[in-house]
Amino acid sequence: MESERNGGLARHAAGFAEKLVTEGYTRESVTRQLDVLAHLGSWLDRQGLGTDTLGEVLERYVAARKAEGHRRYRSKRGLKPLIGYLSSVGVVQSEMQSVHPSEHEEILAPFRRYLAEERKLLPATVSDYAYYADLFLDRVPIAARKDLSLLGGADVAAIVSTVCRERSHSWAKNFTAATRALLRFLFLEEELPHNLVGSVLSAATWRRSTLPQALDKAQVSMLLESCDPKAIAGRRDRAVLVLALRLGLRAAEIAALSLDDVNWRTGEVIVHGKGGRLDRLPLPADVGEAIVDYLRYERPPTLSRSVFIKALAPRVGISGKTVEGLVRRAGRRAGIGLIGPHRLRHTAATALLRGGASLAEIGQLLRHEHLETTAGYARVDFAALAPLALPWPRLSA
């Protein structure tokens, strides 16, 4: 990669400004970002460094901005728009590899490609799996790090047991899922002579030990009414909630919706599900009305084709974590407490069940691979189960 000196970053100012404008940044924000670009170029010149070293010296630059008394853009997160743009035009390496390179990158890089291309996992899931895989590889015995063929089942079981001992059940489930994926990948790549997936014990839990807590009609009404159409992102949040409550979409599926996925003529929507699966679902009238209300009166001008856009710049599509956050905030505003998108998915399934839908129909809407997964919702239909209960025997006096 060619090194740039003597203010070489200045030639990227016009392109960077154009990108910021298209993403919805205000004129003031664009000016401030360009000032950072100029400051970074000057700092590199003073240090006698080229942009090819930026990934290695970014922390030094952040420290220098703090030392100079700058109050803005003094963290790697604050510099994300600039570094992201420089990465996109090939000036520096991608953030994932340059800011925090892992000593296991030779394994993690092809592992990420495998997850994205072969497993068809979403980018956020790929990132999470790589994070857990890095933790696992950090604890591999030194001898096996040099030669993975020396890794044994006992080593894997010991690592999993040690790492998960002090963690929550949900964290342990994620870690073990990622570890299995990594071991399967290493076996397919012939880095491991044996498939060690079976050495990863499942996180202990009691299957079906808790009932899904569906919201009742009053709570659903309060949740939707908590979205003020005059507030920032009020119409967007309401449309997202309606989608989750009526179609049972997951957070990542809502975030992935594109304007091209909605067919208004036929009243259908294409859902991008797990594993790259595409499903065509009917678009109920109330869901369509909520989306149209958002598109007409609130969605900001943007080049993004995502249905739902971030309320603040950059004006790009929202993420699954954004969906999770807005659901939590709506639950607090409505006085319901802590809720998440999956609880809305439970609510959608329970409403269908109580409306007379069969488990097969519910499974088709929720896109479950196995009917057993859907069968769990039958436990909450107390009205239908009540006639099956036998009367409690009474002893005669």
Catalytic residues: 250, 274, 342, 345, 368, 377
- Quote the CA–CA distance of 179 and 212 in Å, as a whole number: 28
Which residue from 326, 272, 320 is spatially nearest to 294, judged by alpha carbons?
Answer: 326
Q: 230: buried, middle or exposed (CB in 10 Å: 19+, 13-18, 0-12)? A: exposed
- Quote the CA–CA distance of 59 and 73 in Å, as a whole number: 12
- Quote the CA–CA distance of 174 and 133 in Å, as a whole number: 10
242: which 2 tokens?
């309606």
**Is residue 160 within 8 Å of 179, Cβ to Cβ?**
yes
Q: 395: buried, middle or exposed (CB in 10 Å: 19+, 13-18, 0-12)? A: exposed
**Is the alpha carbon torsion for 345, 346, 347, 348 positive or negative?**
positive
Q: Which residue is associated with the tokens 């604050």?
A: 78
Which residue from 160, 60, 146 is spatially nearest to 104, judged by alpha carbons?
Answer: 146
Q: Which residue is associated with the tokens 């740039």?
A: 4
Q: CA 131: distance to chain centroid? A: 13
